[in-house]
Amino acid sequence: MVSGDFAVPSDVLTCPVLVLNRVFEPVQLTTAKRGFVLLYGGAAQALDEEGESLDFDRWRTLPVRDDDDALPIVGGSLRVPRVLHLSRYDRTPRAAVRLTRRNLMMRDGHQCQYCNKRPPVRDLNIDHVVPRSRGGADTWENLVTACRTCNLRKGWKTPEEANMRLARRPFRPRWSMSAQILLFTPHRFKEWEPFLKELSAA
């Protein structure tokens, strides 16, 4: 082909991009493809290495460095932004957390909610506070992490009947987007780090 091949490697367009709200809090991860739509349409600016917000016309003039992902365009290539800034978006969304075994254990800090021990994960179970056989539901409020020993000891009893006390009342977690990203996104770009808060804020 004389004109050059502009087929875009699909992994460039699916590259994750961190999106921040007006006050630079994480709102979501999106794809480079969607990120370019936001940037090109003016809804977002891209942050450069100095932390400056650039609109599309300024962004397109930036050189592509060695560790950048780049989109081939006519006459050159376009650096894929790592962080986008929505300068007119004020909300701080909280992520809905799925009720799974893994998330329950994460909520409880991998700690038995009856004896407070922290055995290896393989020795942890999920305990129904009010047992299923007694009408206990599969909900955040009725499920806790328990070690094997406590789980066996409690059996089909309620905590009161078993004379066991919960370390704290189980609850539905509301993790910030930062926390979600830190927990579930193993590959994170270094450009994201300044915007991701530690989990204690969850």
Residues that bind Zn ion (CB under 5 A): 112, 114-115, 147, 150
Are the CB atoms for 140 and 99 separated by under 8 Å? yes
Closer to Zn ion by Cβ: residue 80 or 112: 112
Cβ contacts of residue 187 below 8 Å, gap of 6+?
Answer: 16
Give the nearest distance from C-beta 40 to Zn ion in angstroms: 55
Give the nearest distance from C-beta 141 to Zn ion in angstroms: 20
Integer Cα distance of 79 and 54 in angstroms:
12
Give the nearest distance from C-beta 126 to Zn ion in angstroms: 13
Consecutive H or E run containing 142? none
Are the CB atoms for 173 and 199 separated by under 8 Å? no
Closer to Zn ion by Cβ: residue 31 or 149: 149
If DSSP codes are grouped into helix, strand and coil, which group holds residue 112? coil
Closer to Zn ion by Cβ: residue 37 or 166: 166
Give the nearest distance from C-beta 181 to Zn ion in angstroms: 31
Closer to Zn ion by Cβ: residue 47 or 143: 143
Tokens for 106? 């994460």
